[in-house]
């Protein structure tokens, strides 16, 4: 995932496309399209705001960006994210980040089916199942409010304190950072309750989740 020039992140305002350097606009467009392709239809139907950290975008460049995300079923809200700022500060937000994103989390309100792949720079919460043949790869934590039976890779950029949580944790492959845990060859009894996977030492350890 190329998150240096351009990243799609979650915030209280919804999705935010963050651009670190507007002067490298051609590379920004390429990085954005790669993320949209990797995430397939998961952003479809959503609206994204725009945050430029360095430099500014011309009206023509904004048009190009709007056309690009429209090809993937998204809408562009040209107003910068507010994040609770006063009206005075909102006017000068583009070109300068004045508040940090509180929680970079993508909420998926559906089951992820076989053949679907979700790559995200941040945490992923799925309100549904992750079916066999589906894949989630993210840089943060993965929480599945259902059964996780596909491939899950949390902490994909080396975050060893990332976790994977599911109501039923039965992945075909589970990865946290550089560590890999595969499904056992024989079917073993599973706990009748939520489980959590985390790195302990040099291994991925599964345990029953206790509140």
pTM, 2 dp: 0.58
Give per-residue pLDDT as tens, 149-173: 999 999 998 999 999 999 999 999 9
CATH class of residue range 105-208: mainly beta
Q: What is the DSSP string of 132-165?
A: TT-EEEESS-EEEEEEE-SEEEESTTT-TT--EE
Q: Which residue shows structure tokens 């048009």?
A: 63
Judge contact between 83 and 102, C-beta under 8 A. Answer: yes
Kindly tell me if the per-residue pLDDT of 17 is higher than 90: no
Residue 37: band (very low, low, confident or very high) from pLDDT cuts 50, 70, 90: confident
More confident residue, 58 or 178: 178
Give per-residue pLDDT as tens, 122-149: 888 998 999 999 999 999 999 999 999 9
| Eight-state DSSP code of residue 184 | P
Per-residue pLDDT, averaged over 61-66, amounts to: 89
Q: Which fold has domain 6-90?
A: Transcription Regulator spoIIAA (3.30.750)
Give per-residue pLDDT as tens, 71-101: 888 888 876 665 433 333 333 333 333 333 3
What are the CA-CA distances from residue 11 to residues 75, 175, 186 (Å)?
16, 26, 42
Domain boundary assignment for the chain: 6-90, 105-208
């Amino acid at each position: 995932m190329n998150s240096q020039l351009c990243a799609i992140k979650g915030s209280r305002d919804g999705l935010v496309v963050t651009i670190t350097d507007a002067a490298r606009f051609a590379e920004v467009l390429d990085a954005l399209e790669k993320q949209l392709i990797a995430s397939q239809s998961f952003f479809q139907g959503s609206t994204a705001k725009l945050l430029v950290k360095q430099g500014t975008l011309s009206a023509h460049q904004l048009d190009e960006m709007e056309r690009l995300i429209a090809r993937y079923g998204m809408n562009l809200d040209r107003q910068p994210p507010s994040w609770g700022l006063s009206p005075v500060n909102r006017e000068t937000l583009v070109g300068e980040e004045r508040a940090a994103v509180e929680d970079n989390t993508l909420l998926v309100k559906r089951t992820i089916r076989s053949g679907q792949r979700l790559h995200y720079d941040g945490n992923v919460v799925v309100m549904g199942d992750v079916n066999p043949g589906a894949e989630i790869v993210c840089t943060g934590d993965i929480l599945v409010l259902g059964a996780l039976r596909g491939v899950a890779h949390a902490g994909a950029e080396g975050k060893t304190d990332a976790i994977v949580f599911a109501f039923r944790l039965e992945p075909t492959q589970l990865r946290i950072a550089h560590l890999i845990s595969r499904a056992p060859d024989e079917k073993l009894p599973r706990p009748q309750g939520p489980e959590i996977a985390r790195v302990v030492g040099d291994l991925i350890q599964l345990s029953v989740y206790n509140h």
